[in-house]
Amino acid sequence: MAAGFKTAEPLEYHRSFLKENCRPDGRELGEFRPTTLNISSVSTADGSALVKIGNTTVICGIKAELTTPPSDAPNRGYIVPNVDLPPLCSSKFRPGPPGEQAQAASQFIADVIESSDLINMEELCIEKSKLCWVLYCDIMCLDYDGNLLDACIIVLLAALKNAQLPEVTINKETDLAEADIQKKQPLKINRLPVGSSFAVFDDSIIIVDPTAEEESLSTALLTVVTDEEDRLCAVHKPGGTSLSGEKLQHCINRAITRNKEISKLVDKVTESTKTAK
Amino acid sequence: MSSEIWSPCILRDQERCLLVMMGELSEDLRILSTCKLLQHDSQLLEAVFRTHRLSYETRGSRSKSLHDRAVINCQYSMATFSTAERKRRPHGDRKSSEMSLHLKQTFEAAVLTELYPRSQIDIYVKILQADGGNYSACVNAATLALVDAGIPMRDYVCACTAGFVEDTPLADLCHAEESGGGTSLALALLPRSGNIALLQMDARLHQDHLDALIEAAMTACKGVSKVLDGVVRQHLEEVSVLTRD
C-alpha cells in the first residue's frame, strides 16, 4: 500500500515523513548517507579512487601526460576534470554526447579546483615554457542516486592524494624528456575541499544529501564547498526558491562539520594503504 | 580492494581468479540489474542492463522495433583510464562499434527475444580496466546481468580467449600475451549444449592446431560457467533470505 501511495503521490509521501522530521530511508534531516571510500582500485591509472555515498557510486581515474604549457601561463601545468554520466548509471541519461548535467558538473569541478587552490600548478611544471604535466581527471558515475557533486569532489580529492607521478628530467643533449618509472612521487595537495549538498522542500525544509527522488521533488538545490580551514571555496545555488541568509549560514555550518568527517575518512584510507604496502 | 565496498564472493577457477558481484548497484527500478565482474584483479567490468518499451520519444527508434521479438541494443565503451595510454575516444571508434555488434549478435543467440515483442533490451558495458580478454569479460558480465534482471535465456553464455604462445595452447590470455604476436581466439559458448555462439580469430593458424585451440577455449568456458552458476545460486540464497524477512 505504501508503494502504491509513493508512486501515485510522491510529494505527499515525502511530506508525510518530513512532518515527523525524518525521511523515507530512515535518516534525520541533517544526516548524510554512509560514505565508503576505496583507493587504488584501477592499476592502469596513475591514481584512482571509488566512492559510495549510499547508492551513488562514482569512480575517478587520473592519467598524467606530458605536454607544453599554455602560452599565457608558461610556468604552470594544468588539470582537466571531466565528469561522465553514462546511461548505465541511471535511466535518466541517454547514450550520446555529454548532456547538460555532465557538462555543468565538469565545469563546477574545474571551478572548485581553481578556487580552492587544491594543487600548486607551478609544481606541475617541469621546465618553463617547455614541459609540464597535464592531469586528466576522468570522473565517472556508476550509479546515480542523487548528490553527484559531493561524490565527485571526494573522489577527485582521494584520487589526487593517491596519484603517483614519475620523476621527469630533460636530457640536455637530446632535449627530450625522460621519465623514470621507478621513482614515483605523490602529488602535494594543499587543501582539502569537501562539498555538502542540500535540497529545499516546499520553500522551508532543508534536507542534507538528497537522493535522486528527493532531488527531483525538491524546489531548490544548494551545494557548499569548504576547505579544512573552514573557508568557503564555492557556493552553488542554481535558481530554485529563494533562501534566507540565516538558512544559508546554517547550511554552511553543516558543511564545515561534514568537511571534518570526510577529511578523517580520506586520511584513514590513505594511511591504511600506506601501511598495507 | 576494501571489502566494505565490494563484498565479493571469490571463486577461483583454474585460469584466473574471478571475482563476481551481482546486483550491487542501483535502486532505480528501471535499471533491472547490474553485475560487476573482475577477472584476475586487473580487469574490471560492469554490465548494466535494462529493458524498456520502444517509445515515441526515442528518435527514430519506432522504426527499429520488431513486431515479433525484442531488439537487443548493446553499447560497449572503455573508460579513458582503462588502458596504459589514455584512451582519447572511449566510444564511437571502430573497435567499440565492432565489439558492440559482436555482443549484440552473441546475445541474440541466447536470449529468448520472442517473449518480448516490440520492446528493446539495452545492455551497457563499460570497461574500467583492461588487461586482455575484453570481449570475454563483457560477455560473462552481461550474462550475469541478464540473469539478475530475470530475462529468460537459453543457457549461460560464457566466453574465454585462448591462444598459442610458443606452441602451447593457453586459455584466458592477458594483454601482454595477446599483443605478443601469437594467435588468439575468442569463443562464446552455451555450455550445456556445447554450442558455439561466437568464434573469432584474426591470425594465421594451421588447420591442425585449430581443434586443440577450440578444445582449450571450451574447457575454459565450461570452468567459467561453473563459477557463474555458483555465483547465481549464492546470490539467490542471499536474496531469498532477505526477502523472507
Q: B4, B25, B59, B91: best mutation site toward chain A, by most A Cβ within 10 Å? A: B25
How would you class A20 by CB atoms within 10 Å of its CB: exposed for 0-12, middle for 13-18, buried for 19 or more?
A: exposed
Mean pLDDT of A31-38: 90
C-alpha–C-alpha distance, residues A189 and A165, integer Å? 13
**B8 vs B245, which has greater pLDDT?**
B245
Q: How many CB pairs under 8 A join A and B?
A: 94
Q: What is the mean pLDDT of residues A50-72?
A: 90
Residue B12 confidence (pLDDT): 34
Q: Do A61 and B1 touch (CB under 8 A)?
A: no
> Using only C-alpha atoms, what is the Rg of chain A?
21
Give the model's pLDDT for residue B61: 54
pLDDT confidence bin for B6, thresholds 50/70/90: very low
Angle value at C-alpha A247, between A225 and A214, nearest 5 degrees:
70
Chain B contacts of A136, Cβ < 8 Å?
80-81, 86
- Answer whether B74's CB lies under 8 Å from B103's CB: yes
Greatest mean pLDDT among A149-158, A178-187, B208-217 lies in: A149-158
Chain A neighbors of B91, CB-CB under 8 A: 95
Decide which of B12 and B75 is more confident.
B75
pLDDT of residue B62: 59
- Rg of chain B in Å (alpha carbons): 18
C-alpha grid cell, residue B40: 584476475
Q: What per-residue confidence (pLDDT) applies to A1?
A: 65
Mutation test of the interface with chain A: which of B1, B19, B26, B97, choosing the one with the most A Cβ atoms within 10 A? B26
Q: What is the mean pLDDT of residues A148-155?
A: 93
In 3-state terms, what secondary structure has residue B81? Answer: coil
Residues 6+ apart with CB under 8 A from A269: A37, A38, A39, A158, B2
Other CB atoms within 10 A of residue B241 CB: 9
**Percent of chain A whose predicted confidence (pLDDT) is above 70:** 99
Distance (Å) from the C-alpha of residue B68 to the closest C-alpha of chain A?
25
pLDDT band at B189 (very low <50, low <70, confident <90, very high): very high
Residue A156: per-residue pLDDT: 94
On chain B, the residues whose CB falls within 8 A of the CB of A273 are none
On the question of pLDDT at B182 being above 80, the answer is no
Overall residue count recorded for chain B in this entry: 245
Share the mean pLDDT of chain A. 87
pLDDT score, position B101: 93
CB of B87 within 8 Å of a chain A CB? The answer is: no
pLDDT at B33 over 50: no
Task: Say which residue, A184 or A263, is predicted with more confidence.
Answer: A263
User: Cβ separation of B5 and A36 shorter than 8 Å?
Assistant: yes
pLDDT surpassing 90 at residue B65? no
- Cβ-Cβ contacts under 8 Å for A203 (sequence gap 6 or more): A219, A220, A241, A242
Contact check, Cβ <8 Å, A143/B30: no
Closest listed residue to residue B49, CA positions, set A89, A192, A246? A89
How far, in Å, CA of A196 to CA of A148, rounded? 10
Q: Which residue has the higher pLDDT, B230 or B12?
A: B230
Which residues does A112 contact at the CB level (< 8 Å), separation at least 6? A118, A153, A193, A195, A225, A233, A234
Q: Is A276 exposed, middle or buried (0-12, 13-18, 19+ CB in 10 A)?
A: exposed
- Residue B148's φ and ψ, nearest 5 degrees, are -65, -35
pLDDT at A173 over 60: yes
Least confident of A62-71, B47-56, B62-71: B47-56
- Give the model's confidence band at B243: pLDDT under 50 very low, under 70 low, under 90 confident, else very high: confident
Give strand pairing partners of A50: A38, A59
Among A6-10, A32-36, A98-102, B135-139, which stretch is predicted with the lowest mean pLDDT? Answer: A6-10
Of residues A277 and B152, more confidently modeled = B152
Q: What is the pLDDT of residue A137?
A: 93
* Distance of residue B204 Cα from the nearest chain A Cα, in angstroms: 30
pLDDT category, B32, cuts 50, 70, 90?
very low
**Number of alpha carbons in the 13 Å side-chain half-sphere of residue B20:** 29
Q: Cβ-count burial of A36 within 10 angstroms (0-12 exposed, 13-18 middle, 19+ buried)?
A: middle
SS3 state at B106: helix
**Interface predicted TM-score (ipTM) of this complex, two decimals:** 0.83
Interface with A, mutate which of B83, B128, B131 (most A CBs under 10 A): B128
Asked if the C-beta of B44 comes within 8 angstroms of chain A's C-beta atoms, the answer is: yes
Shortest distance between the Cα of B106 and any Cα of chain A, in A, equals 20
CATH architecture of residue range(s) B18-244:
2-Layer Sandwich (3.30)
pLDDT, residue A27, reads: 87
A45 and B26 in contact by Cβ < 8 A?
A: no
Q: Cβ A140–B79 below 8 Å, yes or no? A: yes
Beta strand A78-84 with A131-143 is parallel
CA–CA dist A258, B8 (Å, integer):
30
State whether A142 and B1 contact (CB < 8 Å): no
| Residue A9: pLDDT over 90 | no
Cβ pair B100, B126 in contact under 8 A: no
Q: Is the predicted pLDDT of residue B29 greater than 60, yes or no?
A: no
Mean pLDDT of B190-219: 88
- The predicted-structure confidence for A178-236, as pLDDT tens digits, reads as follows 777 777 888 888 888 999 999 998 878 889 999 998 898 899 999 999 988 888 999 99
The Cα–Cα gap between A15 and A20 comes to 9
Q: Sorting pLDDT into bands at 50, 70 and 90, what band is A147? A: very high
Q: For position B206, what pLDDT does the model report?
A: 85
A197: left (phi over 0), alpha (psi -120 to 50) or beta: beta
Query: Given its phi and psi angles, is residue B97 left (phi above 0), alpha (psi -120 to 50 degrees) or beta?
Result: alpha
pTM: 0.83
Read off the pLDDT band of A123 (50, 70, 90). Answer: confident
